[in-house]
Amino acid sequence: MAQYRPLNDGQQNFTQATNPQIIAGFQALRMSVDLGMQQSESARKSSMKAQALVSRQSQMLNQMKEQKIMVKDVIVPVDAPTNTKPDILKKAQNKGEEYRNMDEHKVDVMTLANRLGTSKDEGLSDDQAVQKNQQYGDNKLSEKAKTPWWIKLIKEMIQPFSILLWIASFACFALYGVNPDALGAKSNLWLAIILIAIILLTGSITYNQSAKADALMEGFKNFLPQNCIVIRGGQRKQVPAEKIVPGDIVEVKMGDKIPADIRIIQSREMKVDNSALTGECDPLLRVTECTSENPLETKNLAFFGTLCKEGSGLGMVIQIGDKTIMGQIADLATGGETPETPLNIELKRFVILISCIAVGLGVLFLILSLVVEKASVDTAVGLSYWYYCCKFSLAITAKRLADKQVLVKNLEAVETLGSTSCICSDKTGTLTQNKMSVENVWYDGLKRRALNRLIAGKNAEYEYETSDPTFRDLHDCAIITSEAKFNIQAKDKQNINWLDTPTIGDASETALIKFFQPIEDIELTRQRRQFAELPDKSLAKMPFNSTNKFSLCIVNWETHDSYYCVYIKGAPEKLWTFCSYLLVEGRNQPIDEQITQKFKQVNLAFGRGGERVLGFAKLHLPRAEYHKGYQFNLNSVDTLKFKLEGFTFLGLLSLMDPPKVTVPQAIKKCQSAGIKVIMVTGDQPPTAGAIAKQIGIITGKTVDDLLDENPSMSYEDAFRQAPAIVIHGDLIVQALEEEASQGENLPEHLKDRKLRSWCSKPQVVFARTSPAQKLMISGVTGDGVNDSPAIKQGDIGISMGISGSDVTKDAADMILLNDDFASIVDGVEEGRKIFDNLKKTIVYLLTSNITEVFPYVGEIAIGLPLPLSNAFILTICIGTDILPAISFAYEEAEIDIMTRKPRKKDDHLVSLRLITHAYLLQGVIATSAGFFSYFSTMNEYGFPPKLILSFMNTPYQQIPWAPITLANGQPYAPPPTSWVWDMPNMNNPFLTQQPYSPNWQMAPVLVPPSENQIQDTVGFQNIPLNWINPELIYYDLRYIFVTYNSTSNRWFPVFEEWNNQFSDQLCRYFDRSDSLLEGSGYPINTNACFKTAALKYAQTSYFVAVVLVQWSNVFSCKQRKMSLIYSPINNVMFYGVILETIIFLCIVYIPGVNTWFGARPVDILNLGMPGLPYSMCLFCWEEMRKYFIRNLPKDEQIRTKLL
């Protein structure tokens, strides 16, 4: 496999946080081209290595696909392509073949010009440009078809669980449509409307929060400049960038974006910033000669979308639009599917689980309804609100993160970050400030801390003295040799913060001017030392280049023996060879061996500290040789009219990109949370190691440190003893090549052995790493376009909000609005918290859900009058429980949330342990409270529990009683009269066989048939009593459930409890009338005693008991381990409890409202209070369980069971 050298052959940096969508595409193309070229070159020998490596990559992809391995489950996978989509790799291989065959960078310019029908001097004619524009089209990227917003909204409305609810709502509509006048028909209608309202509301909220802006192609469009300068017909013309065509000669200068892929035909120290494409932020020199067979690495091509940072040049357009490198990568980046987040998988599992429960209960009750008349079939709908409460909670958490400068685009990504076990972060811009600053200064032979006066303020103690003559010379040299300047108008200089002022120039020179500006305005410094003029009237300056490694300038500085002074800036070790003196306290001191050794030690120490070092020197040219008006020649080192010797060394300035203030603490939080933080950077290993130590990623000795301290120590011993390691990217490539050389049949346990051993270290840093390798880690952060593929393919992608490109922001699930790594830690905490809170929400909801299911079980299994009506179930689901359930999203994190290990893959959102806790512990207590209230209320109205349980198997007289015909032929409907227990026929006209007369109550009693024929007796039936039939509420059931006593030749109540003249006393509320029974015109008692109207009171009591238990339940679920008294106050939870209390009070006690809901104004002291003991019992049980968790021996298994 090819050794991938850096594109700039020098230091390689990644922009702030390289951006995986483009860079992975670029690297895939680059690897494909290099592999192809290597195979062609080594075909005469052997291509086994390259083939084996490609086969290995394919094999790993298949293995990961088969095993469904996700990125976060592997700390560091083998290589970048293993985490890209197979179709992306396939596309890259196809496109790589095209680039291997291109030769535009290899042929001479004249041949290329003839091929493109142009002239390198005259360019295209206007007619040619128009014709080529018609042939090739505009220079822009093709837009991909966008999904209309309304389709996205519809997709949110037809999620799997939503489909279940749509089916349920349509079924309710159908039931209502078949028989609108049937009992319960209106409840079906209302249920259908409520379900549709829930679907529409939650779908809209989810869409608004998670719908991603279609900015991917817009991000690519931003790479295209609006206008550019071309040479057409020998004349310079400004034309829209969209209208340039292959063959155009384009003029590029500093600050311009490259408008197309161009072949460099003239370069005046032209340097381009390829960070948008490759991740390398150091400007790369462009030349006219071909420097590599690989078109993606050669220096005589510049690519569309990159930026000219220095110099100027001319280029011949070779590709435009979709044919450019950026266009090809855009095609790669927009392909493939985004993998599901772990929480999305959990929610799908949750949906499947509750859907199975809902459908199962629905089918069960449907079957039973065919067997048992009037059994309910719509109970399972109560499960619907679980899922949507989770969605609401996620949306609320996203809002909280937005307040913490984290914008969540994908709701499920909130929890994903909380479950990650490894975060891979780029250094520049994420961990560091992406602002080079002067850290140290060395002059007069002493190292000094270079505090910036704008940051430290006037009262700080400074180690350097601005009035020192050596420092003044160093100051002048640094500013005059720098090209950087502030991008601001002179009139705007008042009261300005220079640290935040935009600048023009490279990062190093920007750091210099921001350090010296508060000491003296840089414009005044430059005015004090004016540049000499060259013969062509240009300024006497020689720019920096990679060959010389220095820049110099000549200024007018008249002294007693000189008219001119040469200032030089560059690599310290290079400048030191030019110097004979060191300036000490303003005087030249000859350089000796001792001074040289001190200089080398300081320079080496700065380098090891991760600092970039610049040296400065000056030389006064003797007046005798260089008179006024001397004509200098600075075209090259060879044309200089003076020797590079005898310089006076002024000092050193070290620069570095300092860590952000919040990062070290954020790293500590991650480590305490069991999250490994891996830094990925393009810097050299010493620099990467130094930065990692500053921010706390590395806290101990690295392997290299031990080897430096003990030269005799072997690498194996150092690796075994060191807790930290800095891995050079080349080592990864070598490990892959070694593995590939052993063939495809390498045993599984030997594959990736080196990578696994490296990553077993607790502290890991990747230095000089290929950008494509960023696809290896669980969380990927980035800001450049080159980060977008990994961001899209990771479990969760995080983009920078300030410095991030539109492409990256579109590909990411989360955006750090403040570009701060500490915000990721906030996200981790919020992610863990939302997983905890979702569990609490589900436990809370499941507890009340079991109280809704068991009443139907009791109705069907043992014939209980339904303890809880559908109206009350809906009230609980979308009324009393909603705000308390959502309030968990506002719950603060538990005290140990950032000291736990990341959750395991098998730690599901809804586990057997959670269901057991909710259903069999808290659910049983809540259900017991409901049934106790139900039975106690029925008992108060004359229905003892034993009697209620006997209703199902006891035959009774059919009611309502039918009209009868009197002896005179007049119809007569006997009303249900007051209870007279000793009447022969129990006030029931059907219990007589004589002709009816007005005095029918005194007629002889009916002698019934034998006992085995009782079912055939007129009016008797043995089906369950319909307790909700409004026509029955007037009838005293003591007249209905009767039996014949042959001894006394009369009828009696069948139940012993009612068979006496004092049975009225069984009802505590015999003197309390019921509003629905008043004004009926019947001579009856208007109370609900012994009537089906009593069920309304019992159902209301059941409902009240559930609400009372939920009071305790919501507070019991606040903390998993800690007592309630130690938990922070959750105002929303208090509001939720108050709201559910208000709801149940309004439903129960407001006239008209209670009638609409089928409720009755129960006596709160005697009927509502039975639920309170159970409520307190649940709270005490939970507090006791938490106490044992906190105080039992540290047995993880026992704790796990209690949790």
Active site amino acids: 426
Four-residue CA torsion sign, 1139, 1142, 1147, 1152: negative
Name residue 25's amino acid.
G
**CA–CA separation, 541 and 1190 (whole Å):** 73
Locate 1030 and state its tokens. Answer: 């409004």
**CA–CA separation, 242 and 259 (whole Å):** 8
**CB count, 10 Å around CB of 246?**
22
Half-sphere exposure of 1000 (CA within 13 A, CB side): 24
Distances in Å between the Cα of 972 and the Cα atoms of 962, 964, 967, 1031 are 9, 5, 10, 17
Quick one: residue 590, left, alpha or beta (phi over 0 = left, psi -120 to 50 = alpha)? Answer: beta
Angle at 650 between CA 645 and CA 655, to 5 degrees: 115
Could you give the 3-state DSSP secondary structure of residue 685?
Answer: helix
- H-run or E-run covering 1049: none
Angle at 959 between CA 957 and CA 962, to 5 degrees: 105
Distances in Å between the Cα of 395 and the Cα atoms of 195, 534, 729, 1164 are 20, 66, 40, 38
Q: Which distant-in-sequence residues (6+ apart) come within 8 Å of 208 by Cβ?
A: none
Q: Are 979 and 1064 in contact (CB under 8 A)?
A: yes
**CA–CA separation, 355 and 353 (whole Å):** 5
Strands 612-622 and 307-319: unpaired
How far is C-alpha 1044 from the chain's CA centre? Answer: 74
Half-sphere exposure of 106 (CA within 13 A, CB side): 11
Burial profile 1107-1142: b = 16 or more Cβ within 10 angstroms, e = fewer = bbbbbbbbbbbbbbbeeeeebeebebbeebbebbee
Half-sphere exposure of 707 (CA within 13 A, CB side): 13
Residues making up the chain, counted from first to last? 1203
Q: Which distant-in-sequence residues (6+ apart) come within 8 Å of 109 by Cβ?
A: 120, 263, 265, 288, 316
Locate 427 and state its tokens. Answer: 């250094």
Q: Are 275 and 161 in contact (CB under 8 A)?
A: no
Angle at 367 between CA 366 and CA 371, to 5 degrees: 115
**CA–CA separation, 315 and 334 (whole Å):** 29
The runs of H, that is alpha helices, within 640-714 are 663-672, 685-695, 703-709
Q: Are 123 and 248 in contact (CB under 8 A)?
A: yes
SS (H, E, C) 395-438: HHHHHHHHHCCEEECCCCHHHHHHHCCEEEEEHHHHHECCCCEE
**CA–CA separation, 882 and 968 (whole Å):** 63
Structure-derived torsion over alpha carbons of residues 1009, 1015, 1019, 1023, reported in degrees to the nearest 10: 160
**CA–CA separation, 828 and 822 (whole Å):** 10
Burial profile 930-965: b = 16 or more Cβ within 10 angstroms, e = fewer = bbbbbbbbbbbbbbeeebbebbbeebbbebebeeee
Distances in Å between the Cα of 706 and the Cα atoms of 15, 710, 711, 722, 856 are 31, 6, 8, 7, 72
